């Protein structure tokens, strides 16, 4: 009987996991497939080269080819999956180092889905433009710093190992479509594995441990104990989760405007630290750059931001302190 109940629980666990993976993968397909097809059309029309020229000044700041600006721009306007779709389409024509891929993935992780996520931060009590500026300029600032460090100390200067199938430059449309189907399948496989890892980490209490490790740092960043739980949730799981919790806290009046701004600013620079990081790492980015470096950079930026705004504003005690 015990064995039977365990089998039933395992079946339910697997069924729920497959359902969640399928839902997210379907969301990926809705964004990535149009992005891949649109990129192919641009490539066939010879537009990618000119787009690269237009975006080159921005991407040159972070040491990347101008063509990769299309990847980041797509991620900014849609989702990271849209950017991944464009990357899958462009990979065959580019030679990237592991450092290049890590810098690109860092840009995407910090700044993506602006129309969706910034609307959430606006509802939570922070302005659309200030938070969007923090994310975009924060991404560029971290990208420049990471590129400079990797270049100066020759870190990750070997060819990037990606899950995407490398294909000849000249191929038939059928071959191209087959290769893109393979790339999308691999990303869906990564999503399945990442979500499974998230469930295991949650069951083992690792996520709770991460929350406990982050909470003591937050008072140095202009947040009291009230903001700690929602901020940590947003950092670990994403702005959608954290922003929704802050909206609830705002309606209850338990967080003041400064805490809300500081919390959302920190979330804007570092969110989805587990799931999104694992996806980018599976694509070939290096953990040191997309997680540890990004986290340290975010904490330092918010620390400085809190100190500067504190000097400019009239000091006011936090409610409940």
- pLDDT per position as a tens digit, 94-115: 889 999 999 999 999 999 988 8
Query: Does any domain span residue 321?
Result: no
**256 vs 295, which has greater pLDDT?**
295
Task: Give whichever of 17-26, 80-89, 120-129 has the largest mean pLDDT.
Answer: 80-89
Give the pLDDT score at 232: 84
Stretch 190-212: mean pLDDT, rounded?
A: 81
With cut-offs at 50, 70 and 90, classify the pLDDT of residue 252.
low
C-alpha distances out from residue 43 to 52, 197, 225, 259, Å: 11, 36, 51, 46
pLDDT at 246: 78
Q: What's the structural domain count of the chain?
A: 1
DSSP type of residue 238: -
For range 16-43, the mean pLDDT: 80
Confidence band for 125, pLDDT divided at 50, 70 and 90 = confident
At 230 the pLDDT is 82
pLDDT value of residue 297: 97
Where is pLDDT greater, at 204 or 286?
Answer: 286
Q: What is the pLDDT, as a whole number, of residue 291?
A: 96
Q: What is the mean pLDDT of the chain?
A: 85
pLDDT score of 209: 83
Contact predicate 113/79, CB 8 Å: yes
**Residue 173 phi, psi dihedral angles, 5° rounding:** -65, -35
Share of the chain above pLDDT 70, in %: 91
Q: How many CB atoms lie within 10 A of CB 164?
A: 22
pLDDT tier at 280, thresholds 50, 70, 90: very high
pTM of the model: 0.85
Residue at 102 is within a domain: yes
The pLDDT value given to residue 132? 92
Q: 158: pLDDT confidence band, cut at 50, 70 and 90?
A: very high
CA distances from 129 to 38, 67, 77, 153, 261 (A): 28, 26, 15, 36, 12
Residue 268: predicted pLDDT: 92
Task: Indicate whether 99 belongs to any domain.
Answer: yes
pLDDT of residue 153: 96
Provide the greatest CA pair distance for the chain.
67
How many Å is the Cα radius of gyration of the chain?
21
Q: Specify if 242 maps to a domain.
A: yes
- Range picked from 73-87, 180-194, 227-241 for highest mean pLDDT: 73-87
pLDDT higher than 60, residue 319: no
Q: Which of 84, 68, 300, 303 is nearest to 185 (CA)?
A: 84
Residues 6+ apart with CB under 8 A from 257: 125
Residues in CB range of 102: below 8 A, 6 or more apart: 146, 150, 156, 285, 286, 289, 290
List, for residues 44-67, the tens digit of each pLDDT value. 888 887 888 889 999 999 999 999
Report pLDDT for 107. Answer: 97
Domain ranges, residue 10: 2-164+171-312
SS3 272: coil
What pLDDT shows up at residue 207? 75
Whether pLDDT at 255 is above 80: no
319 lies in a domain?
Answer: no
Q: How confident is the model at residue 314 (pLDDT cuts 50, 70, 90)?
A: low
pLDDT band for position 254 (cuts 50, 70, 90) = low
- Model confidence at 313, pLDDT cuts 50, 70, 90, reads low
H-type helices in the chain, by residue range?
A: 2-44, 47-61, 68-77, 80-90, 98-110, 114-124, 128-152, 173-204, 206-214, 228-237, 239-252, 257-269, 275-283, 287, 294-312
In this structure, is residue 288 part of a structural domain?
Answer: yes
The SS3 call for residue 159 is strand
Q: Which residue has the higher pLDDT, 188 or 313?
A: 188
d(CA 280, CA 266): 20
CB 18 within 8 A of CB 199: no
In percent, how much of the chain has pLDDT > 90?
A: 34
CA-based nearest residue to 216, from 208, 224, 205: 224
């Amino acid at each position: 009987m015990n064995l039977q109940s365990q089998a039933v629980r395992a079946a339910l666990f697997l069924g729920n996991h497959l359902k969640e993976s399928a839902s997210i993968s379907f969301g990926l397909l809705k964004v990535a497939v149009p992005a891949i097809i649109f990129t192919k059309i641009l490539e066939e029309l010879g537009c990618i080269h000119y787009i690269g020229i237009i975006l080159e000044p921005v991407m040159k700041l972070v040491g990347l080819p101008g063509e990769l600006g299309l990847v980041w721009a797509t991620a900014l306007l849609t989702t990271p999956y849209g950017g991944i779709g464009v990357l899958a389409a462009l990979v065959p024509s580019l030679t990237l180092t592991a450092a290049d891929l890590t810098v690109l993935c860092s840009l995407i992780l910090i700044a993506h889905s602006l129309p969706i996520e910034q609307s959430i931060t606006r509802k939570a009590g922070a302005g659309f433009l200030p938070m969007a500026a923090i994310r975009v300029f924060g991404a560029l600032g971290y990208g420049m710093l990471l590129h400079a460090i990797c270049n100066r100390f020759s870190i990750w200067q070997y060819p990037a190992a990606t899950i995407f199938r490398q294909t000849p430059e000249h191929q038939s449309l059928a071959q191209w479509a087959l290769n893109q189907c393979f790339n999308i399948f691999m990303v869906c496989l990564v999503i399945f594995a990442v979500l499974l890892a998230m469930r295991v980490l949650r069951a083992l209490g690792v996520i709770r441990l991460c929350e406990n490790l982050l909470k003591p740092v937050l008072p140095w960043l202009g947040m009291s104990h009230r903001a700690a739980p929602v901020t940590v949730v947003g950092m670990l799981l994403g702005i959608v989760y954290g922003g929704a919790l802050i909206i609830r806290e705002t309606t209850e009046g338990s967080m003041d405007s400064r805490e809300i701004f500081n919390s959302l600013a920190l979330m804007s620079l570092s969110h989805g630290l587990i799931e999104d990081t694992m996806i980018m790492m599976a694509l070939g980015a290096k953990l040191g750059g997309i997680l540890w470096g990004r986290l340290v950079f975010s904490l330092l930026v918010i620390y400085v931001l809190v100190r500067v705004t504190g000097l400019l504003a009239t000091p006011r005690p936090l409610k409940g302190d």
